[in-house]
Amino acid sequence: MSTIMIIYLGMIAGGILLSFIRMLVGPTASDRAVAVDTITTTIVGMLVILAFVFQRYVYLDVALVYSLLAFVGLCAIARFLERGF
Amino acid sequence: MNAKDVPHQGSFRSSLYLFIILMIIWLVLTNSLKTEELLSGLIISLLLTHFLSANYRELGLPRLRLKRAANFIAYVFVLLSEIIKANFDVAYRVLHPKMPIRPGIIIIKTSLKQDIAKVILANSITLTPGTFTLDIKDDALLIHWINVKSEEEGEAAKRISERFEKYLKVVFE
Amino acid sequence: MEFFGMVITGIGVLFLLLGNFGILRLPDVYNRIQAGTKCTTFGTFFTIVGIGFLEPEWLWKCILIALFVLITNPISSHAIARASVKIGVPLCDKSVVDKTKEFEEKEEA
């Protein structure tokens, strides 16, 4: 059971690494913003799996608040890209 | 838009929708049925409904009818099947060694009137195979298509938006 | 039930990985957004619902988080895509048609 979960967590970590490379390389600012968007959504999934592995109900609240803050933050980044400050 | 002309029409109804949704979210978040929890949830939901209902009135949500509800459920199932198709489509294009993409940006027209219906249509288009909404202006949608099959407006609309529009039209009109 | 939850979580994780791979591999911003939005929305949805099946007491909260992701993820990607159109991020060489200018002119008419 936990072996499979560790494999899943490894796969997600690999995925985050791929997006992270795009975030470092990305030719334009929009590329980096898209990479950050993907990383945050992936981390929400990761937090829920971690909640199951450690059997902590609180982690679900963390995932919920994290996704909420990521949404607001990305909208702010998009606004900044569109017209500057 | 129409709701602004007649400000008091349907205000109670949209407040009630908002209150029920907030109460359900509260119940799921607290995950208990104690009296204190229910009471504080009730007070908070009422306060939030009082302060926020003005924003929701402008959406102009329609009256609840059996026909509308049935169409909305059918729409959800169509959307789910399209999401699953979309994912296999993207997986195929990403994993194929030659990357069979033919991207382009096109315009399609929609016949939906309400803003909320347009938002739902745009979000559905984003989640369906190969298409992505970039911008909306009145009745025109700017769409990025990963595999352009037709540049002409009517033909493209038939392939992209028609399957959702026929349900949304019944739900919102 | 446990096996079922495991399989669903596995499908979700696989699509999360594919979405991140697409971000790295596809040629321009718009194509990357396509892969990013679709695969991560679907992947997160299935991962969270799968965990909900594994731990039935958490199911309702998991569904709430999944619905929240399903609604907000397309909107935030859409905001970034609209910003890229406005500041004129170019399309890749493979593109066949670009009607952005036509759309911009519509505003003035």
**A43 part of contact set with chain C, CB < 8 Å:** no
**CA neighbor of A19 nearest in space, from A37, A7, A6:** A37
Q: What is the tally of helices (H) and strands (E) in chain B?
A: 7, 3
Strand partners, B140: B109, B137
Tens of pLDDT, residue by residue over B19-47, are: 888 888 888 888 777 888 889 889 988 89
Residue C29 exposed, middle or buried by CB count within 10 Å (0-12, 13-18, 19+)? buried
Q: Where are the alpha helices (DSSP H) in C1-109?
A: 2-25, 29-54, 59-87, 100-108
Mutate to test the interface with C, among B31, B32, B84, B87 (most CBs of C within 10 A): B87
DSSP state of B8: T
Tens of pLDDT, residue by residue over C30-84, are: 888 888 888 888 889 999 999 988 888 888 888 999 988 888 888 888 888 888 8
Q: How far is B11 from chain C (nearest CA, A)?
A: 25
Tokens of B1: 């838009």
pLDDT higher than threshold 60 for residue C109: no
Structure confidence at residue B4 (pLDDT): 44
**B100 part of contact set with chain C, CB < 8 Å:** no
**Residues of chain A under the 50 pLDDT cut:** none
- Tell me the average pLDDT across C88-104: 73
* B87 to C38: CB separation less than 8 angstroms, yes or no: yes
Residue ranges of C 26-55 with Cβ closer than 8 A to chain A = 29, 32-33, 36, 40-41, 43-44, 47-48, 51, 54-55
The H or E element spanning position A56 is none
* B126 to C74: CB separation less than 8 angstroms, yes or no: yes
Structure confidence at residue B61 (pLDDT): 67
Instruction: Tell me the C-alpha distance between C20 and C11, whole Å.
Output: 14
Structure confidence at residue B3 (pLDDT): 44
Q: What percent of chain B has pLDDT over 70?
A: 86
Structure confidence at residue C77 (pLDDT): 87
What residue ranges do the domains of chain C occupy?
A: 2-108
Q: How far is B25 from chain C (nearest CA, A)?
A: 8
Chain C neighbors of B146, CB-CB under 8 A: 31, 34
Asked whether the ipTM of the predicted complex exceeds the cut of 0.95, the reply is no
pLDDT higher than threshold 50 for residue B5: no
> Average per-residue pLDDT in chain B?
79
